[in-house]
Amino acid sequence: MILPAIVGIALFQYYPVIVAAVHSLQSFDPFTNEAVGFTGLDNYSRMFTNEGFQSALRNTVLYVMSSMLIEIPLSLALAVFIDQHLPGTRFVRVSVIATLAASETVAAIVWAQMYNPDQGLFNGLLSVLGVPPQDFLNSGSEALISVVLMSSWKNIGIPTLIFLTGLQAIPRDYYEAAAIDGASGFRQFRSITLPLLRGSGTVVVFMATLQSARIFVPIVLMTQGGPDGATRNLVFYSYEQTFQFNSRGVGSAAAIFMLLFLGVIIAVQFKLLGRRYDS
């Protein structure tokens, strides 16, 4: 019964990883793109000494941290709001699901237009508030966070639904008992909701980590890794090396490094959050 799934996973998940791992140890003929021999760790050595890689690694960490800082509290707030069945919750619920339905490519193009420093919507709104126009995607200090905001908008739906599912699984009796004991709404949230959402939170953290570390389409369409490498992450670095600079060995090394890097982060998270969840 599960054989097709195993074959599918082996073919489309494990096999490419094995191929990339082998490629990362090889050099390639730039004309034929065929492997011409093993070079040991040369590709890794070239990668680690490359400034572009170093900034990509730094940016990947920034993407993960800033995405989590935005997505987790926001998705939790949205889930709590939707769970209240107040006026407007239906609109918010539909809006959140709509972001899931939207094409990432289309969303990136639309956001890029809204970020346009000369004709974009955001600078139009800022000018109404008397704020000087911003460069957004053209600014070394604003570009990364601009991409993160777009990506968080696109990705916020699933964490919200996960939190919402977690909220709806909490028995109402707990809140009624707490209310009888005189607990305020905030106290109920802190002492009942948050602890019982730890499982959902762990899943959301894992997902947000993986999603934010793999942001690619918005970078390609909105910034191409610029300005001055400010939005280049490890995925984009790997893509650049492989397809733009015709350096398959270094591109594969970057992909393998990213796999290991994410594995370590997830393992640490699992150790910290998973243990608490189990307890």
Partner 1 sequence: MANFASGITRRNFVRGAAGVASLAAMGGLAACSGGAGTEGGPQPVRTGPGPGGYRIDLGGYQGPELTDKPVVLRFLRQSYSDEVNALFASHYATFSKAYPNIKIEEELIPYGNLPQKIQIYTQSGDAPDIMMSRLDFTEYMSRSGQALNLTDYLTQAFLSDLFTPMREAGSSGGRLYLMPWEGYLPMVLFNREIFKRAGVPTPPEVDKLDDGWTVEQMFETMNALTHNLRKKGDTATWALESSILGNGGPGSNYTQYESIWIRNMGDRSAEKGSSLHSTWQGVSDNGLTVSGYLDTDEAIQGMRNYQRLFSEGLTPKSAIPAQFQGAQAAMSMNSIRQILNRDKPGGASPFDVGVTLDPRRNMLFGCNSGDAPFVWAKSKHPNEAAALLAYLCSDACQAPFFRSRGAFITRRSLVEKLEEYQKPDEQLALKVADNCDGAPRTVGWNEYYAAINPAVKDIALGADPEKTLRGTAKHIDDQLKKYHR
Residue 178 in tokens? 């707490």
d(CA 97, CA 92): 9
* DSSP type of residue 36: E
d(CA 207, CA 264): 15
- Helix H segments across 102-197? 104-115, 121-128, 143-155, 157-168, 172-180, 185-188, 194-196
**One residue of 58, 88, 246, 264 binding partner 1 per CB under 8 A:** 246
Site string for partner 1, 140-179 (x = CB under 8 A): ----------------------------------------
Q: Choose one: 23-31, 147-155, 164-172, 204-212; the region binding partner 1 (CB under 8 A).
A: 23-31
Q: For the chain, where are the E strands, in sequence order?
A: 26-28, 35-38
Phi and psi, residue 37, nearest 5°: 150, 165
Q: Angle, to 10 degrees, between the axis of helix 51-83 and the axis of helix 157-168?
A: 40
Using rule CB under 8 A, residue 29 touches partner 1: yes
Using rule CB under 8 A, residue 137 touches partner 1: yes
Using rule CB under 8 A, residue 103 touches partner 1: no
**One residue of 92, 224, 262, 266 binding partner 1 per CB under 8 A:** 224
| Total residues at interface with partner 1 (CB under 8 A) | 27
Using rule CB under 8 A, residue 245 touches partner 1: yes
**One residue of 225, 254, 257, 258 binding partner 1 per CB under 8 A:** 225
Q: Kindly list the residues in this chain that would bind partner 1 in the complex (CB under 8 A).
A: 28-33, 52, 116-119, 135, 137-139, 224-228, 240, 243-248
